[in-house]
Chains A and B, each alone.
Chain A
Amino acid sequence: MSDLSPGDELLQWASEAGSGKWEALRAAAGHVARKHGLRRRPWLIARDLSLLGHLDIDWENQCWSIASPTMNVVPGLGLCVVLTGSRPYYLIQRFRDAANDRDVFDFTMRQPRNRDSAPTAIFAKCASLDVAKEVATRMGANFVFDPSTSLAASMPSLDDQDPQRTSPPDFDLDTEWFNPHQVEWKECESRDTPMEGLYRQQLTERRRHLWYGAGKWSKIDLAYGQFRALRDAGQQVMEWTEKAANGSMASRLEVHRHVRLPDVAERALTICDGRVPVVPDVSPTGYLRYSNVPERVCQSISQKLGQTPRIVRRGQG
């Protein structure tokens, strides 16, 4: 077996293919899962690529495209530039050639244990910004500063969501309601008057999500539906901790693991250290942890999702 993770192989294929319909991406994700004995749904494997900023998926139209290769200068990483977007074979060759310089040290980091099927993070530690720019130019990549701030700023807020009316779900068909107080899904046992809030049904490969409010049903994105329910219930699911002054610990944002962040928010957070969130070893509350998240990015995202995160200053516990 190669040393590449399933996500690495899928990313290389998607980079070579460029774009296509979801069916092709699903088939490729299914293949790498089978090859590696990975028991993970194809769309979750593909989603890892999306939230790491490698490709964009239009779920509505069932199509996707790889993003252009991009070198990201991320605050707090000490000029360890993160490579996102396309990674075809010949581009990686050019990257290695460009990094073959005494002012550049390229290195990779596997994703955290809980999600090590995702694509390996690739970095280039550059001696200066000029050196980083030169690497990007030589390999033909975009060069971007502070992508997390831009992404967070571009993310739509809860109030930007435009609900689309739809027909009521059939409660006989495995329908669940999101309980915002307990932050978990509950099976709907009754066909009586539905509770207000978020519902889900798994009828096809991906679940469909519906919002019920004021006697009307509408389609809604899972993430925005959950945060709308949480906002209505006054429930907080985010906590930010500042970094240690001596650089020994990064700042971090923790989000309840049963809550889905919008794709753009996930991307804004994962690019902060180039990796998917970890499940902390000691996590009685079941949170996902994003590292090196600036406070302003946390505030931008949480404000758009109707959250008031708990802020922890070092030394305050």
Chain B
Amino acid sequence: MAEASSWNYEDWSERLFQTFFSTDNGGEDILFAIDDTVLAEISALSEEGEDGGAASLSRAVKSRVSGQWRLGNISAAARAWERRGTGAHPALPVLALTVLAASRMAADESIANTNYYVPLRRLLDPGDPGRGAPGDFRDEILGLWESVREWSEVALEGRLGILKADTTGSHFPYIASALQHAFLRSSDLHRLDAFFRVLGIEPAGEPPVGGELRRALKSWTSNKEEAWARRLHKACLDDLDNELHKHCERLLIREARRWDGMPRDVMTGRAVGRLRLAIKSRKHPGVQLFAQWDERIGNEVELVVPGDGPSSLRREGDSEWFEPNPLGEFSPPLIDDWLSDGVEFAGAPTKFQLLGSAAHVLRYDEEMFSYVSVDFMTIGWTHLILTRRKHVDEVKNFLATLTEDSDIDREAATVSDDPHLADWRLIGPFKIDSRPATRPPEVLAQYLAAGTGLSLRLIGGLKVGPNQRTYLVNGEPAIGLNELIEDRPRLYRVGPDGEEVEVPLKSEGQVESEREEVPLWEERLEPGQYKIRQGPATVRLEIVDGIAAAAGPGAGSVRLNGNIEGTVVHDRDEVAQPWMVKAPIGLKESFLLGAGGPTEYDSVCRPRWFNAALKMAEGGGDLAWRHIDAWTSFEPIWQVLKSGSEGQSDELHLLEERPPITSEPFAAGTSWSKALCETALAEDAPEAAAVLLQAYREAIEGNCDV
């Protein structure tokens, strides 16, 4: 290909095709975002003047449509080209020029910023005084867009992306087609990664509706000064006459849906590999670099490692890491620089990147036996934080509120004796046990969910059943407030007919601008349907008493040692059951006697200790017994009820009519025989009891001496 300044029409067709059509866009709409900067990047020429990329494109287009704007020439060429069917579509340069014109609207203050045709005309002739549509523009332009759409969507089957212009319902269809591609650059959309993270959108999750995304993006970009942020902000402005709203929202939804949470090159949008910091332990805190594998990259990478030149990295087995690890030995000044400012290693199929930061969070990786840097802190896992000395106190103070018995209080360790790394400190190891209830310090903000989801988020809570937002009474979640919306949250109870009655939030008075969450459990919600609204964002939830009759699905499916479920031991022989006997009187023991002689003698008492525990317990109570369980290894036949008061005699009660078991007389003088011989039969005992007692006494050796 010739020098870009002298590219002809075909050269520009090919270049635009290579730039905007790729498998990365497969199945997706292409944002044909042409402006002076993009053309300069494509052509490697300047952004302005006769030597610029835009001027080169203009010359190439003018060579085909002449100064009279005969777009019919391109239409004819396209029809002829369609019969051959190979290479880049011949309409691409002229369509690019129409988008370039849209990007220049409002650039000249002497022209209304809604005027499109003036900047369009001046692209081919800077002195053109005309103000309306030039040449056969209106007759041909929509056909050219449609021809490109059909080619990209049908002929190429959308494999490299689909370039089209949606003019449905537009008042200005000839202009709208260019405008919808001009208001942003492709690279602007690659900046949305940080925006999606702030929103708390989950990769592969369904994003909020387009209107909410656009309004949130407007807020997020409102205090940013970079050019990309200003473009995004402008694209999101509310303007009833602005037909770009729907295109902006469509793009945002598309980007949110395709967002995978993985880093991408801001310019190309292509996947970028990740370099990770690695530290063996607090005792051995040398900083190393590992290359992390991810599924977008493949299993082999050529990487240019500073000092070592090109290196081949390979993923072994199912490892999450490329080998070799670490990537090399780097000098302390380099490490210091990379920690702060980040670094990129060139490579194929992609470069690898370490993001610089004032603080790096590392989590223990069992595969690598090291702490490695991560994007987020995870509750319950052990972390280290590497940060500059000046941040140590604020980081430790903040973490102390999130951790229980960790090593946060230990003095931060240095990572090297080298003076270049003397300012870096290692905090931890520590585990966070809960979500932050206060705003994290700036240096940690990127590692902790900000709680600013666009759709109101429900945090925590005791969810039950198949519905995503059904919670138990006493298991209400917290509302994650949306920092991008200034309104206070409001709670409504939704009746059976859909009517909404506001329920004043008890905690409303505590909701300050700094507060991120409202704990709904403080509201002690009754069962029912509820809606929470904060400005335009709403979320519904249901509170129920319960759903399961006896236990939820899968109850009893886990068994300890294969046969223990709770306090039930399955497949086990029956255990002994107790006997029911008369409850002992007062503080006394009561004795139980079996038919088998002196070994069948046991006592039973009231569990007074348990009654005392109940009396002391919250709510109190008192236990009384007429009968009680006895866990003797024999069947009790007789029971001695010890007298409860002075002057009264002990009583012998018959429990079962069963004669003594004896081939030999039972020994006298035992507790068993004494009880039978020395205790008087209860007054209300039946006649049969006296007869049986006589038989027992006769079975005792030497009989009773009473």
Contact = CB atoms under 8 A, between A and B. Distances in A.
B566 A90 contact: no
B126 interface: no
A89 B546 contact: yes
Interface stretch (A48-56, A229-237, A302-310): A48-56
A117 interface: no
Contacts of A35: 460, 519, 521
Interface stretch (B186-194, B350-358, B427-435, B654-662): B427-435
A151 interface: yes
B575 A146 contact: yes
A98 B218 CA distance: 61
B464 A247 contact: no
A1 B506 CA distance: 12
A145 B568 CA distance: 9
Nearest to A142: B568
B555 interface: yes
Interface stretch (A169-177, A192-200, A280-288): A169-177
A247 B605 contact: yes
B626 A127 contact: yes
Interface in B542-560: 545-560
B566 A53 contact: yes
A220 interface: no
Contact of B577 (A34, A76, A145): A145
Interface string B517-560: 00101101000000000000000000001111111111111111
Interface of B is mostly: loop
A271 B568 CA distance: 11
B399 to A, nearest CB: 14
Interface in B587-631: 587-589, 603, 605-610, 612-614, 617-619, 621, 623, 625-629, 631
Given A63-B558, A107-B621, A170-B369, A68 B551 contact: yes
Contacts of B556: 65-68
A312 to B, nearest CB: 16
A88 B566 contact: no
B631 A79 contact: no
A41 B406 CA distance: 12
A13 interface: yes
A31 B607 contact: no
A249 B547 CA distance: 42
A58 B631 CA distance: 34
B210 interface: no
B629 A154 contact: no
B606 A247 contact: yes
B339 to A, nearest CB: 22
Contact of B607 (A12, A18, A77): A77
Given A18-B553, A88-B552, A129-B580, A41 B281 contact: no
Nearest to B545: A89
Interface in B354-408: 364, 366, 369, 379-382, 404
Interface in A26-85: 26-28, 30-35, 39-42, 53-58, 63-70, 72-73, 75-80, 84-85
Contacts of B567: 53, 67, 70, 72, 84-85, 144, 147, 151, 267, 271
B561 A156 contact: yes
A249 B280 CA distance: 55
B564 A73 contact: no
A142 B570 CA distance: 11
B260 to A, nearest CB: 22
A111 B281 CA distance: 40
B83 interface: no
A125 B583 CA distance: 14
Q: Is the interface on chain B under 10, 10 to 19, 20 to 34, or 35 or more residues?
A: 35 or more
A316 interface: no
B628 A78 contact: yes
B575 A172 contact: no
Interface string B570-587: 001001111010011001
Contacts of A67: 555-556, 565-568
A247 B608 contact: yes
A125 B623 contact: yes
A154 B564 contact: yes
Contact of B575 (A79, A107, A145): A145
B575 A149 contact: yes
A31 B460 contact: yes
B548 A65 contact: no
Nearest to B587: A246
A108 B568 contact: no
Interface stretch (A178-186, A201-209, A210-218, A253-261): A201-209
B551 A69 contact: yes
Interface string B321-338: 000000000000000000
Contact of A90 (B380, B382, B522, B546): B546
22 contacts: A4-B474, A13-B472, A28-B462, A30-B379, A30-B434, A39-B404, A56-B566, A65-B558, A69-B550, A84-B566, A86-B551, A88-B546, A88-B551, A91-B550, A110-B618, A129-B578, A145-B576, A150-B575, A155-B561, A205-B431, A248-B612, A273-B613
Interface of A: 1-2, 4, 9-10, 12-20, 26-28, 30-35, 39-42, 53-58, 63-70, 72-73, 75-80, 84-86, 88-91, 105, 107-110, 125, 127-129, 140-142, 144-147, 149-151, 153-156, 170, 172-174, 202-205, 243-250, 263-264, 267, 271, 273, 291-292
